[in-house]
Structure 1
Amino acid sequence: MFHPPTSDRCLALAHPDYINFVFSILILLGILLSYLPQHHRIISRKSSFGLSPYFVLLGTTSGTCQFANILTLPGSRADMACCRDDGVSGLFLFLIYFPRATPGTTNPAKDADKQPSFKTAVIVAWICIAHAFVTAIISIYFTLAHPAGLQSWANFLGILSTVLAVIQYFPQIWTTYLLKRVASLSIPMMCIQTPGSFVWAASLASRLGVEGWSAWGVYVVTGCLQGTLLVMGVIYELRWRRKEREELEGRIDAANQGQMDGQVDTDRRVEDVSEQTPLIRQEE
């Protein structure tokens, strides 16, 4: 049920608690900025090697479901009804949740032996677009023609988002496990997003209450799974760096040993030289 601009709910939104407002702004900035390390790592490496396209596909569709879930929840619709410019509120929510899909902007790794082809990336993109279109059409239908079913539709989207989010991390966890390294996956990004998921879940839970479990529950689940991926990434990265350091030290030792052997051989030849040594030696 939508509230007129003069209702108590709208008046409360018009005079928000400044502490909660600042807290929400910090969360928004944290979500947006948390993806910068990932983008920087991909650009600096000039490769998305190590990122699973199926992780991108499932993450994008999960994000679409979660975005639609937020928009179709009665509490969120009531808040948006208080705004005279719905486009601004829609854009605000879009900016909040769109980063969940930003890994889709990356290309599959160029190592054809390790990663799927570019065709797979194109198929993933089209599936994501089609899924977003179908979700939007169904949400509009329930909003205009069958409002009584909106809560059930929102719950379905929340459950689907959670399921996709849970499945989403398994391809990436498996890819990281096979590579035994993070490659283009950003550890700083996960360090920011893992605790941020729980903070954002708490923020949504305080506003939407228990009935909004389908909205904030997904962030609890994804936070746990991303934490698992983070622990794996840190362990593999430490092992990889230790292995590189040992290989470098081995090459340095081999080079030094080669120089020492060459110097010893030279010294021996010098010792063999005397006044009776012919200028041209015949090879034995």
Structure 2
Amino acid sequence: MTKLTASYSLILVGLLISYLPQMVRIITRGTSEGISPYFILLGTTSATSGFANILLLEQSRHDVACCKELETFQCIAGVLGIAQLGVQWICFSFIFALFLVFFRYSTSNVPEEELGGEAPRWQTALMVASLTLLHGLAVIIVTSILVYVGSPGLNMWAQSLGLMAAILAGIQYFPQIWTTYRLKHVGSLSIPMMCIQTPGGFLFAGSLFARLGWAGWSSWGIFLLTATMQGILLGLAINYEVQARRDNAAANETDENGRPKSPHLTPNHLFANGLDDDIPGRYSGHPETYADNTEQLARIIDRQDADARAERQPLLQPGGIGIGNTDPKTHNTARR
């Protein structure tokens, strides 16, 4: 019993710590950019259903009832499994609140170029908040009625909540996986949180299975499914984060002359002719000094020719006399 209690306590502390990186990342960045609003909606409602499920299971009700006859330490040890789901619900609800506070990109503390996609509309944030609160209120009302009347359908309601939690948990990562894949970067999603929670989810599912057995499938099954989906998201996030760091490192590389050494990177701005704004313009002297090889020199000359064809200021046109008259006849007469 002591070893089992110690393992439950360790998991409880680890669960609490695992959510802290996500909370800190949203607060420090000042935005929930990169986090899908539907991931928040499904995750919060799933956590609510899961917490209500374990509270209503017969084994959990028995553990709580035994607290009247047990000492404080023994009572706490008996309800640690319930506390684990309670902590998860509290933490995810706090992340839900942070999402609503920081859903606008305009209040972020990160450079604009690091923000991907468009910020969720206020209507979306309002919808997420409304559905989450309505779901929680419905669970409380139905549960209270069944407990008050002593309905034999309480166990069926508990199993229904567990099934609902499992379904919501199973699909909650799909919108987040899609969002991360579309943005091609992590945003405010916390990789350290997922690194802790993914293996911890499998461990948590095992601890609930040891406590509830096959009869508690609706409780431990949630975490088994969630850990699997979170592992997929973690792999995707790590891949994009490593790729972003490689690109940043390549962009900061310089050659022996101190010039940026990143020809493989996509140019910042491409003109219609496919030339980027890092190539010297038409009147750059000695274009060969900007080129490392003949191919780059040819691109510079092409850029200069393109600039000359696009020039609309007479002073700068070939043979221009520096006056504002653009009439070719007058221009030719003035030259004669």
**Alpha-carbon distance in 2 for matches of 1:228, 1:119:** 30
Instruction: Give the alignment partner of residue 6 of structure 2, picking from 1, 19, 22.
Output: 22
Which residue of the partner structure matches residue 103 of structure 2?
108
SS in 2 for 1:184: coil
Given that 1:51 and 1:109 are in contact with CA atoms closer than 8 Å, whether structure 2 keeps it comes out as no
**Alpha-carbon distance in 2 for matches of 1:103, 1:145:** 35
Stretch moving more, 109-118 or 236-245: 109-118
**Alpha-carbon distance in 1 for matches of 2:222, 2:61:** 20
Which residue of the partner structure matches residue 330 of structure 2?
none
Task: Using the TM superposition, give the Cα deviation of residue 189 of structure 1 relative to its aligned residue in structure 2, in angstroms.
Answer: 0.4
Task: Using the TM superposition, give the Cα deviation of residue 112 of structure 1 relative to its aligned residue in structure 2, in angstroms.
Answer: 9.5
Which amino acid is 2:159 matched to?
N
How many equivalent pairs are there? 248
Which residue of the partner structure matches residue 197 of structure 1?
201
TM-score of the pair, normalised by structure 1: 0.78
Which amino acid is 1:220 matched to?
L
Same amino acid, percent of matched pairs: 43
Deviations 1:34-87 (A, max 9, x none): 0111122222222211001110001001111101100111000111112249xx
Query: Is it true that 1:143 corresponds to 2:147 in the alignment?
Result: yes
**Alpha-carbon distance in 2 for matches of 1:159, 1:98:** 20
* More helix, by proportion: 1
Deviations 1:62-119 (A, max 9, x none): 111101100111000111112249xx96994533432233321223251695231233
Given that 1:52 and 1:108 are in contact with CA atoms closer than 8 Å, whether structure 2 keeps it comes out as no
Given that 2:33 and 2:116 are in contact with CA atoms closer than 8 Å, whether structure 1 keeps it comes out as no
Superposition misfits of 4+ residues, deviation over 6 angstroms: 88-91
Which residue of the partner structure matches residue 86 of structure 2?
94
TM-score of the pair, normalised by structure 2: 0.67
Query: Is it true that 1:252 corresponds to 2:260 in the alignment?
Result: yes
Deviations 1:197-239 (A, max 9, x none): 1111111111111111001101000000000000001111111
Which residue of the partner structure matches residue 181 of structure 1?
185
**Alpha-carbon distance in 1 for matches of 2:116, 2:205:** 38
Task: Using the TM superposition, give the Cα deviation of residue 139 of structure 1 relative to its aligned residue in structure 2, in angstroms.
Answer: 1.2
Stretch moving more, 104-113 or 18-27: 104-113
Given that 1:52 and 1:115 are in contact with CA atoms closer than 8 Å, whether structure 2 keeps it comes out as no
The one of the two structures with greater contact order (alpha-carbon pairs below 8 A, sep at least 6) is 1
**Alpha-carbon distance in 2 for matches of 1:202, 1:182:** 29
**Alpha-carbon distance in 2 for matches of 1:42, 1:155:** 34
Structure whose alpha-carbon radius of gyration is higher: 2
Instruction: Give the alignment partner of residue 241 of structure 2, picking from 224, 233, 237.
Output: 237
**Alpha-carbon distance in 2 for matches of 1:44, 1:97:** 23
